[in-house]
Structure 1
Amino acid sequence: MDPAPCPCGSGLRRQRCCALDLATLSPPDATAPVVPLLEQAEAALRDNDPAAAEIALCAALELAPGREDALFALHRLRRQQGRISAAETLLRRMVSINPNNFAATNELTLMLLGRGALAEAETHARNAIRIAPRNAQAHNLMGLVMTEANRALIGEYHYREVLRLLDRDDAVTLANLAWNLKTQGRIEEARLLYARSLDINPTVLQSVLGWARTEEADRKFPRALELVEQAEALAPGNQAVALTRATVLARQGETEAALARLSRLGEGNGLGPAELSEQGRLLDRLGRYPEAFAAYDAGKSRALELGARRYLDDAARDMAARLRGFFTERRLATLPRATTRTDTPQPIFIVGFPRSGTTLIEQTLSVHPRIAAGDELPFINDATHLAQRLFASPLTYPDALCELWMGDQREGLDLLRDHYLARVRQAGILREGARWFTDKMPLNETHLGLIHLMFPEAPIIHLLRHPLDVVLSVYSNHLTHGLFCAAELATTAKHYALIADLIAHYRANIPALRYHAVRYEDVVDHQEREIRALLGFIGEAFDPACLQFEKNQRYARTASYAQVTEKLYDRSRYRYRHYRSQLEPVLPLLAPIIERLGYTV
């Protein structure tokens, strides 16, 4: 019998934890003898004795490892101790043992949502509704997940279901719905809902802060600061309040004041990951570059301490290898293509690594009356999961596309295309007079082969920016795209190089790819020339309004939302030069890509 504790950190032996065979669990009525241990744990927690509670819970789970109430109690204890990864592991076990456990499903969904694992959170949120279709909290979970996943109309539906099921106004739900409408650009409706929320309960910090951030996004900075003061009165010293105030001050150009606010907050219990990253960006703006990078480092370290996921290196390399192995010129020559529909607007795919300038280009194009803004649409990624089921294939994507050689699956790509377009319609992004809509989901370029098969005529605009600038900018933000590559500087560079090599493979093997590369630096230097060329590639006439993208009133749901409300500036161009020594460790990874793309160091 191995006495060693499980590496997951639960505190249980491995045989009673991650190596547990669920088929060997005793039926619930056979686990009654552990009830006294659970009562001991409960009494210890009431007496503020977590050590004694842990001993009792671990003893109970040694005897009855499938006991759900014991697992849930240990999960709560691990959360209180800040051992987030262990807490999540325990929840996952509960859901594996009993997929109909609503409480565990609810908690797991919220944890996954909190760390940005949206696809997995959606799986469990959907299951919560299957378990309890008339439960308001189940619909609230779906509202939260769909709003964060940029499926705002679906999220709106579920929030309105919450209100219908409650049969009354609820302050928190109204605030959640208001935030959802804000992401749709329906700012005035959001304001009205925030007002209703605060009329019901003026002490809900979430409502006050959400309203403040909505006003900040709408560039109503004095009103935003009024609401921040209200939030400060409710929660003095709160990090989220301080971060919101700093964000508003920074957008007003009061960088020193914003930095001072965050610095004072850090004198207490220290700053969280988001606050440290914002501190770094403020220091960068003031030219204090070594301090800025130290803040970025501290933010990443703090995030990992709090349970943020590390880069899924093996999964990334396996994915790239399978895509390169499948999408070869020889195989692509034998596969069908979807036909192009003429009864609905068509996608323009704006691809590029996060922080490469895709939001700038989307804001520019969506000023054009014939181009609607789609933002970050997850529907290509959905198609990669749908292919296996839709084609009844025993293989996973991309190999499931081999079914397209079968006589009864020759129109399979048309089905994937229609599923994508139906999701776009449901998302409510199409507008009157638009011939096109944009899809700028980060790292869609991972699936250029599938995009070409589904939409062979679609324009693909690839944003290029100096790789060191991209990696630095990703590192200064907390992003989950790219299998959590942004967790560390080295893994950010590693994933950048992996994707760059994959794009080179696609371009070499798909000669018919309708591809146009745009350099961020060229847009800064020669804006009109580049935008004219871009619109010409798409097939639309030049519109001078596209040169004033900062007047675009839509809310861009990305980390660049504030930058694209300013006129075109060049302060982010070759920003890496201020951080040469800090970026030196990743230069060997990026040097071949830098040379291939025509950049220098």
Structure 2
Amino acid sequence: MESSAQALCRCGSGLRAAKCCDIEPLAPRVAPETGQAGSVRTPRPPVDPDARAENHQQFAQKIGEALAAFERADAATAARIAVEVLEAEPRHGAMLQLLARIREAERKPAAVRALLARLLEGDPTNLWAMNRLCQLELSQGNLEKAEIHARAAVRLAPTLPQAHNLMAMLMTEAHQPVVAVHHCRGALELGDERYPIVLSNLALNLRRLGRVEEARSLYREMTAAAPDNVRTWIAFAQLEEADRRFEAAHAVLDEVERRAPNSSALALTRATVLGRQGRYEEALGALQRSRRDETVRLRPVEQLERGRLLDRMGRYDEAWADFAAGKARALELGAPAYLRDEARELAERLRQYFRRSRLDLLPRAPARQDVPQPIFILGFPRSGTTLVEQTLSSVDAIAAGDELPLLREIAAVAPRLLASPLPYPEALSEVWLGDRRHGFETLRDHYLLRAAQMGLGGEGARFFTDKMPLNEVHMGLIGLIFPAAPLLHVIRHPLDVMVSAMSNFFTHGGYCASKLETAATHLVLTHDLVAHYRTEMDLRYVPVRYEDVVMDQERTVRGLFEAIGVAFEEKALRFEENTRYARTASYAQVTEKLYDRSCYRFRNYRRHLEPALPILAPLIERLGYAID
């Protein structure tokens, strides 16, 4: 049996584990004059100079052979030599980079991640490694890890267009369009040309900010300059579709069809536009034409789109089959699975920290009167939060903020802003100290400053909405820094939420919607956390039943405005006339008049939802709903 010391590393690099993922990390950098980490690496033990010279000569020859093999496309020989060198010198930069490129071509992301991380550990200024590692983490959906490398690249090379482009890509994926626009413009200003990828990214983020005409102008520029770039045409068509200009979207797609008639992106976008127009049979036909070869499977995103079309046509069993198959296929292709342990750990730490015995000793940040204030619209993804936001932002006093990442950002930076050695939420106890007693005001002001930088609350608005899904996890934090803020918690029948979760892709909740059972698990976890906060804290909590908004609209909407303290206006009942550009996944629904077909739609899928019932039954009863 192979000893553990000789076993190949589980990451797939081809190295022994002892020379790869199990290798002892380098000692931290330590500044001798202060003893603080961060500036100088602890020196290695002295090496015999003759031995070093001999090793250097041997390695130089092997490295040359490896690079030559790689240049002539002999990846197997190049990898074998690189492994041989790295077994002797596990931190050899050139060979780590070479082997990472080979494993990347072989689609071994775990190996690439391990090799690049070790390369950066030894050479923290290697921009190539930062770029590749950031892109790898992005492709795997690991946005927080990707952000570390994107930010490091800008710090290291603030005048390099590629560094700003990398940051723009990350911020685009993180749905932070204001920051993404800043770095797109930085890349363009620092570069010698108008790079198509940067322009496309800029147009997408301008669209997300509601600056539709600016985005449309960029798409026209790009399609004129590079008429064979199908991705640009598709993005242009998606803009027109989202802006309700369906015939313009079809005209753009006609251009794509002339240039790339077999494009799967063309078929999917055409189906989406036709579906918005209620032309469901044509939409199904468009998807089917993209897969003329019956042996070729639909992509997960196409399968969910077909399922949504079938749902609207009343073909519910077929629709569910597509939802389930699309989710399973996505996991099979490497989509992230639910981060169950991380979610449970955070919830437990929040429950332990936010207890009345502790909270009674903590101050609250006073409300500021000089800037617009947030209204928090809480709820599970696809539970009706966009409908509530569209309704409220119909009046001039309330601006729509959409999905703001600010509470998550505050939780991440709280230890630094409070100068605490503890993580969040334990770092909040820093305010007990005399020189930190105004800490919650610091966190409040950080939130408000970031909101102002995003352009929220302008043109006379007194309030702006923050409807990031699952912000209810941070209700305790909100209660400390915005104790007077309304917390509008949108509640919907849990089984209806499950149908929506299965019919859409979203990353919120630690990828909980990757499967039916994990979506149900996370829904229960968040509702349990809300119940805990309501027991332990005094909050301006306002439960909003989605079904009440739909079935008893005027009474419910009037109650919402009364709870916020804003005068009700009749136009709030005609939210579909709100001309703002809705920038979330529910943009299509909130441009239609109110309809009740989305209430209790789970009845069409009752037998398919059976696996979730043992998880959800107690919550369904607690919320006052029925299963049948």
TM-score (norm 1): 0.94
Q: Which residue of 2 aligns with 1:582?
A: 608
Q: Give the Å deviation of 1:460.
A: 0.5
Does residue 1:117 correspond to 2:178, yes or no? no
SS in 1 for 2:326: helix
- Structure 2: which amino acid aligns with 1:559? A
Contact 1:249 1:255 in 2 (8 A): yes
Q: Which residue of 1 aligns with 2:555?
A: 529
- Greater Rg by CA: 2
Of 143, 159, 167, the residue aligned with 1:142 is 167
SS in 2 for 1:22: coil
Of 126, 129, 135, the residue aligned with 1:104 is 129
* Structure 1 segments unaligned to the other structure (5+ residues): none
Of 10, 15, 19, the residue aligned with 1:16 is 19
- Structure 1: which amino acid aligns with 2:191? L
Does residue 1:369 correspond to 2:392, yes or no? no
Q: Which residue of 1 aligns with 2:586?
A: 560
Range with greater deviation from structure 2 (275-284 or 372-381)? 275-284
Of 298, 315, 325, the residue aligned with 1:298 is 325
- Structure 2: which amino acid aligns with 1:186? R
Q: Which residue of 2 aligns with 1:215?
A: 240
Q: Give the Å deviation of 1:505.
A: 0.3
Write out aligned runs for 1:10-159 (5 A): 10-23=13-26, 33-34=58-59, 54-159=79-184
Contact 2:490 2:544 in 1 (8 A): yes
Q: How many residues align?
A: 600
Range with greater deviation from structure 2 (148-157 or 530-539)? 148-157
Q: Which residue of 1 aligns with 2:500?
A: 473
- Structure 1: which amino acid aligns with 2:554? E
Of 351, 375, 379, the residue aligned with 1:348 is 375
- Structure 1: which amino acid aligns with 2:312? R
Q: Give the Å deviation of 1:265.
A: 2.6
- Structure 2: which amino acid aligns with 1:491? T
Contact 2:415 2:424 in 1 (8 A): yes
User: Can you list the C-alpha shifts for 1:531-566, whole angstroms capped at 9, x where unaligned?
Assistant: 111111101111111111112222222221111111
- Structure 2: which amino acid aligns with 1:122? E
Does residue 1:255 correspond to 2:280, yes or no? yes
Q: Which residue of 2 aligns with 1:7?
A: 10
Q: Give the Å deviation of 1:521.
A: 1.1
Q: In structure 1, what is the Cα distance between the partners aligned to 2:412 and 2:104?
A: 32
Q: Give the Å deviation of 1:159.
A: 1.3
User: Can you list the C-alpha shifts for 1:199-226, whole angstroms capped at 9, x where unaligned?
Assistant: 3222222321211111111111122122
Of 518, 537, 546, the residue aligned with 2:572 is 546
Q: Give the Å deviation of 1:45.
A: 5.8
Q: In structure 1, what is the Cα distance between the partners aligned to 2:390 and 2:252?
A: 28
User: Can you list the C-alpha shifts for 1:237-262, whole angstroms capped at 9, x where unaligned?
Assistant: 33322221211111111222222222
- Structure 1: which amino acid aligns with 2:19? R
Does residue 1:163 correspond to 2:188, yes or no? yes
Sequence identity, in percent?
52
Range with greater deviation from structure 2 (341-350 or 163-172)? 163-172
Range with greater deviation from structure 2 (458-467 or 7-16)? 7-16
Q: Give the Å deviation of 1:112.
A: 2.7
Q: Give the Å deviation of 1:192.
A: 1.1
SS in 2 for 1:582: coil
Q: Which residue of 2 aligns with 1:428?
A: 455
- Structure 1: which amino acid aligns with 2:549? V
Range with greater deviation from structure 2 (357-366 or 295-304)? 295-304
- Structure 1: which amino acid aligns with 2:337? R
Q: Give the Å deviation of 1:9.
A: 3.7
Contact 2:172 2:201 in 1 (8 A): no
Q: Indicate how the Cα distance of structure 1 residues 583 and 386 shifts in structure 2: closer, same or farther if over 3 A, else same.
A: same
Range with greater deviation from structure 2 (261-270 or 210-219)? 261-270
Write out aligned runs for 1:151-550 (5 A): 151-266=176-291, 267=294, 269-510=296-537, 512-550=538-576
TM-score (norm 2): 0.90
Q: In structure 1, what is the Cα distance between the partners aligned to 2:200 and 2:159?
A: 21
Q: Give the Å deviation of 1:95.
A: 3.1
User: Can you list the C-alpha shifts for 1:485-542, whole angstroms capped at 9, x where unaligned?
Assistant: 12222211111111111111001111x2001011111111111111111111101111
Give the alignment's Cα RMSD to 1 decimal: 2.4
Contact 1:339 1:414 in 2 (8 A): yes
- Structure 2: which amino acid aligns with 1:129? V
- Structure 1: which amino acid aligns with 2:7? A
Q: Indicate how the Cα distance of structure 1 residues 495 and 162 shifts in structure 2: closer, same or farther if over 3 A, else same.
A: same
Q: In structure 1, what is the Cα distance between the partners aligned to 2:163 and 2:610?
A: 48
SS in 1 for 2:317: helix
Q: In structure 2, what is the Cα distance between the partners aligned to 1:57 and 1:294?
A: 47
- Structure 2: which amino acid aligns with 1:596? R
Q: Indicate how the Cα distance of structure 1 residues 346 and 171 shifts in structure 2: closer, same or farther if over 3 A, else same.
A: same
Q: In structure 2, what is the Cα distance between the partners aligned to 1:463 and 1:133?
A: 43
Q: Indicate how the Cα distance of structure 1 residues 211 and 545 shifts in structure 2: closer, same or farther if over 3 A, else same.
A: same
SS in 1 for 2:381: coil
* Structure 2 segments unaligned to the other structure (5+ residues): 28-43
Q: In structure 1, what is the Cα distance between the partners aligned to 2:105 and 2:599?
A: 44
